[in-house]
Structure 1
Amino acid sequence: MAGHFYADGDIVDIYRWFATEAAGSSPTWQAVCSWVADTPDVAARLDRLPGMKRQPQLFLAALRHLGAPLVPGPALADWVDRHWEQTQRTILGHSTQTNEVGRCAVHLPLLAGLGAQAGPLALVEVGSSAGLCLLPDAYAYRYRFTDRPDLVVGEGRPEIGCRIAGATPAEAAYALPDIAWRCGIDTAPLDPTDPEVGAWLRALVWPGQPEREERLARALDTVARLPRVPVVTGDALEALPRVVAEARRHADTVVVMHTATLSYVPRERRARFGDLVRGLGARWISCEGERVVPEVRDQLSPGPDGGPARFVLALDGRPLARVGQHGGWIDWL
């Protein structure tokens, strides 16, 4: 996994950077990451983890999962020292598969827009985790606009809220999409009905965000009542051609989407992904950090400095919006 900041970056720089990512979203994780960067003994332990296991999200989730005190200082340092073997096992045995269902609110307008143009869709999600975002039509959405009343889509289902700014582009619509077939691809798929999986997904939610925990619980309950969505275990670049070929048996329009997935892929492979999707004749919805997808990054004008971390929502490599990394807002470009 060479060629990735998490794998080969300086561990202090990694944790200082993640502290800025958490700023405004989770003061707890901001404080813990800053503390790690300033605590050589803890930083040294984390530096010895292999490759992508050095990413802060795994250590932070392990702290929550194992019940560590989350206040930086001597008590946390002592806890890490006494529980390091268990913490390390947890990190090595898990992945950062947040599966934040709130992100469906930013996917939905593009899926609905594509469906309005082309009819039923076949949906393929790369990095599907427990599959919660493969079921955007299982939830309701409350879109809050600055210039008109709220719009609720799909009433009677578990509701996801999303704030809208900017003019909605022609490619987007606010409606439930017609999905004829769906499938995930993941290197380590999760079973949403497994209590241990639910516990790990809850640990991945950042402290101080109870609405995300409640939304996750509702989504897990909803998915448990529905037929299981097929998930292919494997590398996306290798599995995507055969999955898209199968998808074409069910709908003329195949949509490949991913959120916070390519950020974990080595740099040299990211540029190949868009070319692969286009070569397969599929539509491509990406939702990644501003610098993750090279062709999207190169089309962006400078965004606002500071504030909560944001992703860029793009269709077929063209950026359409900046969005909240957990799906809470869309700012159309």
Structure 2
Amino acid sequence: MTTAQTYAEFAAREARGVSPAYERLSLAVSGDDKVLALLDTLPPAKRQPNLLFGVVRFLGGPVEDPAAFHHYTVTNWPRIEAQMRVRATQTNEAGRCAVLLPVLATLPQPLALLEVGASAGLCLYPDRYAYRYGDQTIGAGEPVLDCEATGSVPPATLPDVVWRGGLDLNPLDVTAPADVAWLDALIWPEHAHRRARLRAAAAVAAADPPLLRRGDLVNDLPALVAQAPADATLVVFHTSVLYQVPAPRRATFTELVGRLPGHWVSNEAPGVLPYDDLPEPPDGAHHNVLALDGRPLAWTRGHGQALHWFA
């Protein structure tokens, strides 16, 4: 897929109906030969829309108006390029816990959670957040995570989490203002509710920090697994992470995680972890596939805003 096609697809499948600003911007970039030529000087994994738009926002550039964005990007490309080469999309959306919760609540308790691609670890606290599935609320406090759920009954209780660890190539610290600023820049422009959610989830994590380790998802996973308590059910999980991992390395990881004790919960795009005989997604928007131990269970939206159970 060309860079132009990547941006056009992002506009149609991910931003449409979710972020008008990013839909406009993605469509504009898909037809902007000058910006596309600049992007094509980067490695393929570094050309993605969320990374470009996040870096421009992080540097204080405009993302609402395509013409202003073009001028800023072309004028400031050396600064933008430098940031894009060293940063990654580490969207740490606590709302994703709403689609993980129905699986986590059914596993033998208590749980030892280990997230691959943990960013700042905000998805390691599914037991500390409150949830609203339609008119049913679970838990108390902030943030409250809203999720449209169909095809399944929401869990009645929260999981019992006794250990939480995370692995990331560049773990972020919610007590560091620069790291929180990067997480904020990755949130789409119109999503004020997600910014409020980030602040509330960051406060939860800062009060009881998780064990975060810098490392590779294959080489360093076994050592972190060894630190989990033996008397808890180990759950290795990840969401929208493996698309950044080259296919051969991805295959090595899935082989490794399949041999580990406990359970494996994945929430990735269907092209990243392919499955046989998936039903049609509920609409033309971008969806992930939620799976337990390699068995697909549900379609999910990227920020945890919807869960369509089909298992």
TM-score, scaled relative to structure 1 = 0.88
Q: How does 1:228-243 map to 2 (within 5 A)?
A: 228-243=209-224
Q: Which whole-Å CA distance do the structure 2 matches of 1:74 and 1:242 have between them?
A: 49
Q: 1:284 aligns with which of 248, 264, 284?
A: 264
Q: 1:323 aligns with which of 300, 304, 309?
A: 300
Letter of the structure 2 residue corresponding to residue 266 of structure 1? P
Matched, 1:33 2:13: no
Q: Secondary structure of 1:236's partner? A: coil
Q: Verify the 8 A CA contact 1:180 1:250 in the aligned structure 2.
A: no
Does 62-71 or 33-42 show the bigger shift?
A: 62-71
In structure 2, the partner of 1:175 is: 157
Q: Which whole-Å CA distance do the structure 1 matches of 2:6 and 2:210 have between them?
A: 35
In structure 2, the partner of 1:143 is: 133
Cα distance 1:203–1:262, how it changes in 2: closer, same or farther (>3 A)? same
In structure 2, the partner of 1:68 is: 61
Q: Which whole-Å CA distance do the structure 1 matches of 2:130 and 2:151 have between them?
A: 22
Task: Give CA-to-partner distance per residue, 1:78-111, whole Å, 9 cap, x none.
Answer: 2222211221222123210001010011111211
Task: Give CA-to-partner distance per residue, 1:155-200, whole Å, 9 cap, x none.
Answer: 23421111211134xxx73421111211101111001111111111
Q: Verify the 8 A CA contact 2:124 2:164 in the aligned structure 1.
A: yes
Does 267-276 or 87-96 show the bigger shift?
A: 267-276
Task: Give CA-to-partner distance per residue, 1:291-319, whole Å, 9 cap, x none.
Answer: 2112xx2241222442x322111111111
Letter of the structure 1 residue corresponding to residue 253 of structure 2? F
Matched, 1:262 2:242: yes
Alignment length, in residue pairs?
Answer: 309
Deviation at 1:223, TM superposition (A): 1.7
Q: What stretches of structure 1 of length at least 5 have no aligned partner? A: 1-8, 145-149
Cα distance 1:47–1:210, how it changes in 2: closer, same or farther (>3 A)? same
Q: Secondary structure of 1:113's partner? A: coil
Letter of the structure 2 residue corresponding to residue 235 of structure 1? D
Does 199-208 or 153-162 show the bigger shift?
A: 153-162
Greater fraction of residues in helix:
1
Deviation at 1:253, TM superposition (A): 1.6
Q: Which whole-Å CA distance do the structure 2 matches of 1:180 and 1:221 have between them?
A: 19
Q: Which whole-Å CA distance do the structure 1 matches of 2:82 and 2:131 have between them?
A: 38
Q: 1:119 aligns with which of 109, 112, 120?
A: 109
Q: Verify the 8 A CA contact 2:238 2:266 in the aligned structure 1.
A: yes
Q: Verify the 8 A CA contact 1:105 1:162 in the aligned structure 2.
A: yes
In structure 2, the partner of 1:17 is: 9
In structure 2, the partner of 1:6 is: none
In structure 1, the partner of 2:202 is: 220
Q: Which whole-Å CA distance do the structure 1 matches of 2:65 and 2:3 have between them?
A: 17
TM-score, scaled relative to structure 2 = 0.94
In structure 1, the partner of 2:147 is: 162
Cα distance 1:72–1:39, how it changes in 2: closer, same or farther (>3 A)? farther
Q: Which whole-Å CA distance do the structure 1 matches of 2:133 and 2:66 have between them?
A: 41
Q: Which whole-Å CA distance do the structure 1 matches of 2:89 and 2:159 have between them?
A: 28
Cα distance 1:73–1:293, how it changes in 2: closer, same or farther (>3 A)? closer
CA-based RMSD of the aligned residues comes to 1.7
Deviation at 1:141, TM superposition (A): 1.1
Q: Verify the 8 A CA contact 1:124 1:182 in the aligned structure 2.
A: yes
Q: Verify the 8 A CA contact 1:108 1:175 in the aligned structure 2.
A: no
Cα distance 1:321–1:79, how it changes in 2: closer, same or farther (>3 A)? same
Q: What stretches of structure 2 of length at least 5 have no aligned partner? A: none
Q: Verify the 8 A CA contact 1:35 1:72 in the aligned structure 2.
A: no
Cα distance 1:36–1:175, how it changes in 2: closer, same or farther (>3 A)? same
Deviation at 1:72, TM superposition (A): 4.4
Letter of the structure 2 residue corresponding to residue 194 of structure 1? A
Q: Which whole-Å CA distance do the structure 1 matches of 2:105 and 2:191 have between them?
A: 28
Q: Secondary structure of 1:237's partner? A: coil
Letter of the structure 2 residue corresponding to residue 179 of structure 1? V
